[in-house]
Amino acid sequence: MRPEDRDHARVINNIKASHTTVERIAQWLISKGYPTIITPTIYAATYEERLNFVDKGDLYISTKQGALRVEVKQLGTAFTCKEDWKFKDQAIVCAKHSFDKASPKPYMYILVSADKIHAMFVYSDTKDYWIPKQFKDSRYENMTQYFYVCPTEHIHFGRIDG
């Protein structure tokens, strides 16, 4: 099996594993008074087909401004606030291509701490401060790509446990 095929299988497994975090965030948003819809997930059967399966977001919240797209990312790093964030002055928001090609653009990204109690809230209106940086994604064998990184001074930290 090619490294791309193994990585594709890992991507699918990681997406499936993230569903519980997306559901947790949806329930939290509902508890805060935001009508919330989780979008269905459709998977590409092969690595070659992956670009035909660009999603439309993890969930949408209904507001007076209309339906707003929200992306949820479960992080493997625990944090409670900006001061104990392992990477100090910046955080990866998302893969650059995923934001650049997104339609509609996400309203915000919720980056959930490994403890599932704390999160970072990165609003897309801070996009002017994001910096593209290339990293090797350590979860995969053969995946180096550009990500958007946001300075933590433009990120809100908070609790998501009620």
pLDDT digits (tens, 9 = 90+) for 19-78: 899 999 999 999 999 999 999 877 777 777 776 666 788 999 999 989 999 999 999 999
Q: What is the pLDDT of residue 16?
A: 65
Q: Which domain covers residue 74, as residue numbers?
A: 3-159
To the nearest 10°, report the CA torsion of 27, 69, 151, 22.
30
Q: How many structural domains does the chain have?
A: 1
Q: What is the pLDDT of residues 117-136, one digit of tens each?
A: 999 999 999 999 999 999 88
Phi, psi angle pair for 10, to nearest 5°:
-65, -40
Collapsing DSSP to helix, strand or coil, 136 comes out as strand
- For position 121, which CATH number holds? 3.40.1350.10
3-state helix, strand, coil in the chain (%, to 5): 30, 30, 40
Strands lying side by side in the sheet with 144-151:
90-95, 144-151, 131-136
pLDDT > 70: what percent of the chain? 93
